[in-house]
Amino acid sequence: KQEVTQIPAALSVPEGENLVLNCSFTDSAIYNLQWFRQDPGKGLTSLLLIQSSQREQTSGRLNASLDKSSGRSTLYIAASQPGDSATYLCAAIGTGAGSYQLTFGKGTKLSVIP
């Protein structure tokens, strides 16, 4: 069974810092990996999706990388802003019978201090 772990569970940084969020998964036979953002009391917003054949994806100040062989993905946020404060979740999308099921990590709660 796929397990997804996110470290750290919470992170507080001053505005302007670059930061890295980590995501690890136990089964490397994934189809894709997706990063989401969740604001308090809200649903999830998709940030980046990395297909298994890709190494990384970029969107603005966000860059996500994927290393299937080591079972790891990272989300890099450049020049952090208070508006980046949210919980960030990664989700691994399985293959075969698990292809409809995203396995989520528990998230990293990010606070960017002005």
Partner 1 sequence: NAGVTQTPKFRVLKTGQSMTLLCAQDMNHEYMYWYRQDPGMGLRLIHYSVGEGTTAKGEVPDGYNVSRLKKQNFLLGLESAAPSQTSVYFCASSYTPPGYGANVLTFGAGSRLTVL
CA 10 remoteness from chain centre:
13
Shortest spacing between CB 85 and partner 1, in angstroms: 19
Please select the residue that binds partner 1; options are 31, 54, 58, 79, rule is CB under 8 A. 31
What is the rounded distance in angstroms from the CA atom of residue 22 to the CA atom of residue 108? 9
Shortest spacing between CB 17 and partner 1, in angstroms: 26
Please select the residue that binds partner 1; options are 107, 108, 110, 112, rule is CB under 8 A. 107
Task: Encode burial over 35-48: b for 16+ CB neighbours within 10 A, e otherwise.
Answer: bbbeeeeeeeeebb
Positions touching partner 1 (CB under 8 A) are 4, 31-34, 41-46, 49, 51, 89, 91, 93, 99-102, 104-107
